[in-house]
Amino acid sequence: MRVLLVHPSPLMYSELYLRLEPLGLERVAAAVRAAGHEVRLRDLQIFSHADYWKELADFAPQAVGFSVNYLANVPEVIDLSKETKAKRPDTFVFVGGHSASFVAAEFLEHAEGTIDCIVRGEGEIIAPRVLEAIGDPKLCTLPGVVTTSGAGPSPTLLDDLDRFLPARDLGRKRHKYFIGVLDPCASVEFTRGCPWDCSFCSAWTFYGRSYRKGSPEAAGEDLARIREPNVFIVDDVAFIHAEHGDAIASEIERRRIRKQYYLETRCDVLIKNQELFARWKRLGLYYMFLGIEALDEDALKAHRKRVTLNENLRALEIARSLGLTVAINIIADPSWDEARFAAVRDWALSVPEVVHLTVATPYPGTELWLTESRQLTSRDYRLFDVQHAVLPTKVPLKRFYELLVNTQSVLNRKHLGWGALKLYGGAALRAASRGQTNYLRMLWKFSTVYNTERQYADHLKPVRYEMKPPRPLLGLKPTKQDLYIHMPAPVH
């Protein structure tokens, strides 16, 4: 069967800081191809809708699968599905991915029959089975599958992460993928899931709080196949188990792989596994993201981060002493006023790290989505991107965006524009000499992407598809069914 897999358009983040390969879709593509299908992949972060329509006409796929990891992409994919069915009514349309899994039923409703099924959870095992079941009423009985006529049991976890290494050969224009000065940049996955349970995060609810590791040999093999000099390690929390990180490091040394790496981890993991991170620094670890989230103990508790402020600060010192470029994130609450923004700005300017601000957002799939007591001010999927305020702001909304954008822009002077050239000019010019200009081009783009007027105007756009509000808990605790996509393993 001819199968076309599609990643939707870029998000606000990707217009500026990064653009990354659709690794999940590449893994699904590998599994579908292994089942004997002819597969193509089209990434609309790079290509236009016109390119998609042309491919639909030329390739004439019997099935089109969309990846929806981000809520902000839901309306686009609904519209693409509607038009795909209008142009080619016999094409089977299916949708998978992180966010699609959490809003499956309403996604189908909005699509008005133009999406044949949503696939909840991991895609590798189930996608080939879905294709096999096209036209068969048993489709809606498959694990994780939701159709308008019913839903199958909860999805099953992939037993072995080594089984389907990403089909990177299906990507086109790969030189467009980058993160900051790591330009161009590929992605790899060493582990999947997260054992923690932060209230604002859906990594643990998606994977049923499981944590799985691929083998160090497969990690080495995958890295050896990557042509790009830079690699984004997509694990939610990198190197939780030091021995796994060490084994991958040994594999890299054995194969003499030399690359630069970006990863994301927790402060307590960095503190615990300092030597491992030092080893990775020697192997090429360049850029690290630490989820600090808050500057006071109360907020850290509310996020259920399970780290203290002191640990966070200690981790920053360790990262500095290792000579890593570090980015951190602080969650800006819509209740923040002038004084709060000023305090955070002052702190952020006093540290050398790249500091990002995201807006606290109850995201479907998070515990916060179920427990947040404040009323949502918008249920427009497009505004659920942690750059917009969907909860009531203390200062008027426009003023909130002024404060947010001004703070971000002051902080960004450290690592965008001329400030960046001082720090990374050499690397940027080396990349440019190889024809890689993704990074250089982003340096002066900040105000076109992040600006008060644009963010405020986004709230005034007509809303064609509105998210369903969360089911009221009426004082009860969320159940497993409320929270999880993959159900946690029973405790013995």
Query: Binding of ligand SF4 at residue 201 (CB under 6 A)?
Result: yes
Distance CA 147, CA 142 (A): 10
DSSP tag of 228: S
Nearest approach, Cβ of residue 196 and ligand SF4 (Å) = 4
C-beta of 22 vs 184, nearer to ligand B12: 22
Residue 177 near ligand SF4 by CB under 6 A: no
Point out which span in 23-31, 332-340, 459-467, 480-488 binds ligand B12 (CB under 6 A). Answer: 23-31
C-alpha–C-alpha distance, residues 371 and 475, integer Å: 9
What residue ranges in 374-490 does DSSP mark as E strands? Answer: none
- Cα separation, 94 vs 81, in Å, equals 9
Q: Kindly give the pairing relationship between strand 2-7 and strand 63-67.
A: parallel
The structure tokens listed for 86 are 């209008």
Phi, psi of 404, rounded to the nearest 5 degrees: -65, -50
Helix (H) or strand (E) holding 188: strand 186-188
Instruction: Please state the closest distance from residue 469 (CB atom) to ligand SF4, in A.
Output: 23
Tell me the C-alpha distance between 115 and 15, whole Å. Answer: 28
* Amino acid at site 485: I
Q: Which of 18, 41, 46, 203 binds ligand SF4 (CB under 6 A)?
A: 203
Stretch of 48-56, 181-189, 190-198, 351-359 contacting ligand SF4, by CB under 6 A: 190-198
Single out the residue of 8, 61, 96, 362 in contact with ligand B12 (rule: CB under 6 A): 96
Among candidates 298, 321, 323, which has minimal Cα distance to 308? Answer: 298
Q: Which does 204 bind (CB under 5 to 8 A by kind): ligand B12, ligand SF4, none?
A: ligand SF4
Describe the strand order of the beta sheet including 325-332 as a list of residue ranges. 186-188, 230-233, 260-265, 285-293, 325-332, 354-359
**Helix H or strand E encompassing 84:** helix 74-87
**455 lies in the binding site for ligand B12 (CB under 6 A):** no
Site string for ligand B12, 195-234 (x = CB under 6 A): ------xxx------------------------------x
Interface with ligand B12 by CB under 6 A: which range of 46-54, 64-72, 270-278, 393-401?
Answer: 64-72
Among ligand SF4, ligand B12, none, partner that 219 touches (CB below 5 to 8 angstroms by kind):
none
Residue 58 identity (one-letter amino acid): D
Q: Taking CB under 6 A as the rule, does residue 446 contact ligand B12? A: no
Which structure tokens are listed for 482? 């409320």
Q: Which residues of 95-122 are buried (b: 16+ CB within 10 A; e: fewer)?
A: bbbbbbbbbbebbbebbeebbbbbbbbb
Mode of pairing for the β-strands spanning 145-147 and 117-119:
antiparallel
The binding track of 340-359 with respect to ligand B12, each residue x by CB under 6 A or -, is ------------------x-
Which residues lie below 8 Å from residue 405, measured CB to CB, with a gap of 6+? 450, 451, 452, 455
Q: Candidates 189-197, 243-251, 274-282, 435-443 — which segment interacts with ligand SF4 by CB under 6 A?
A: 189-197
Between residues 105 and 429, which has the closer beta carbon with respect to ligand B12?
105
Q: Is 291 in the site for ligand SF4 (CB under 6 A)?
A: yes
Of residues 25, 237, 290, 316, which one binds ligand SF4 by CB under 6 A?
237
Tell me: does residue 65 bind ligand B12 (CB under 6 A).
Answer: yes
Please, are residues 152 and 22 in contact by the beta-carbon 8 Å criterion? Answer: no
Provide the mask over 239-268, with x wherever binding to ligand SF4 is found by CB under 6 A and - wherever it is not: ---------------------------x--
461 C-beta neighbours (distance < 10 Å), count: 10
Cβ neighbours of residue 487 under 8 Å, at least 6 residues apart? 154, 208, 480
Question: Counting contacts by CB under 6 A, is residue 98 touching ligand B12?
Answer: yes
In the list 9, 69, 230, 407, the residue contacting ligand B12 (rule: CB under 6 A) is 69
Instruction: Please tell me whether residue 483 binds ligand B12 under the rule CB under 6 A.
Output: no
* Nearest to ligand B12 of 12, 240 (CB atom): 12
**What track of x and - describes contact with ligand B12 for positions 111 through 130 (by CB under 6 A)?**
--------x--xxx--x---
Q: How many CB atoms lie within 10 A of CB 138?
A: 11
Per-residue interface string for the shown chain with ligand B12, residues 231-250, x marking contact by CB under 6 A = ---xxx--------------
Which residue stretches of 4-62 are H helix?
23-34, 49-59
In the complex, which residues of this chain contact ligand SF4 (CB under 6 A)? 194, 196-198, 201, 203-204, 236-237, 266, 291
Applying CB under 6 A, the residues found at the interface with ligand B12 are 11-14, 18, 20, 22-25, 27-28, 65, 67, 69-70, 72, 94, 96-99, 119, 122-124, 127, 187, 189, 201-203, 234-236, 358, 363, 365, 385-386
